Copies of this chain bind each other. A is one copy, B any other.
Amino acid sequence: MTRIGIMGYGNLGRGIECAVKYAPDMELVAVFTRRDPATVTIQTENVPVVSANEADAWTDKIDVLLLCGGSATDLPEQTPQYAKLFNVIDSFDTHARIPEHFSNVDAAAGESGHVAIISVGWDPGMFSLNRVYANAVLPEGKDYTFWGKGVSQGHSDAIRRIEGVKNAKQYTIPIDAALDAVRSGKQPELSTREKHLRECFVVLEDGADAAKVEEKIKTMPNYFADYDTTVHFISEEELLRDHSGMAHGGFVIRSGKTGMHLENNAVIEYSLKLDSNPEFTTSVLIAYARAAKRLYDEGIKGAKTVLDIPPAYLSERPDAELRAALL
């Protein structure tokens, strides 16, 4: 059994609990929190909630520690810190800062002899894998990534920072016509506006000016100005009732060419349709925790990404069985 620890108990921490429950070769041994452990109730019975300060006492009881913090401030600190003590997995998703994060984590994990797999999840993660496979197989071509339909936390937060807004959720929605154009093999050039719509559900503070809020949203640079944006004003009750879901998904498509004169189209498409974004993300994390243990047992150390891991290492089934059943 691979012994799993969780660092941080939010949506991802709860997702890990679910994924461990259905992994036949895994057991959850501790949940670490920066809060007062007495105030944290988890879903799994007979698993202790422990102060994050006491994690170093658990190094010989945990095979892989799953880091469930955020990419903005938590993981840049936590992943190098805990890679000194444990094999770790994180879901660091600030694409532009991955090289720097990789380098920091690699130094820490290399020195302590642990395996640290960073940027695991679906984007980065499964989507990255598919971009690399598709680019290697079809060197002549064009990549397209679409996200949604799903809630963007960053865009929802941006709306909530506007004066007069009490609460908000923002859905990113891929545009069907753009998807169809890409699937046709024509390799269209698509503007930002042509690829995704943005739909906002906003709860106003008492007395706020709806027209002014809508104008501020629609003209916000980077977040909304380049998109066709729809704004709906609703009550807080409606927001909680109808917009608390965590569904998400997306599409990675490579439209390429084959043949001596590149005369033939080849379109590779990978897509996800997820009722629960955090539960799927953590299902990926747990599969890579299995790989981290196997690599560590082989004497491998340092930072890794999904691009470095053989697919078979994600499965609990022996290689020969995978060849017979799934190849």
Binding site for B on A (CB under 8 A): 15, 17-19, 21-24, 43, 95, 98-99, 102, 119, 124, 126, 128-133, 135-140, 183, 185, 258-260, 262, 264-276, 279-280, 283-284, 287, 290, 305-312, 314-316, 319-320, 322-324, 326-327
Contact = CB atoms under 8 A, between A and B. Distances in A.
Given A23-B139, A259-B276, A275-B266, A133 B311 contact: yes
Contacts of A128: 326-327
A119 B327 contact: yes
Contact of A323 (B98, B265, B312): B98
Interface centre among A259, A270, A290, A326 (most CB of B within 10 A): A326
A25 B15 CA distance: 43
A250 to B, nearest CB: 11
Interface centre among A98, A140, A266 (most CB of B within 10 A): A266
Contact of A314 (B136, B259, B326): B136
A260 B133 contact: no
B279 A307 contact: no
Given A133-B311, A266-B272, 11 more contacts: A21-B260, A126-B137, A132-B315, A132-B322, A136-B315, A265-B275, A266-B275, A270-B270, A307-B323, A308-B312, A310-B310
A266 B138 CA distance: 28
Contacts of A267: 272-274
Contact of A258 (B19, B24, B136, B322): B19
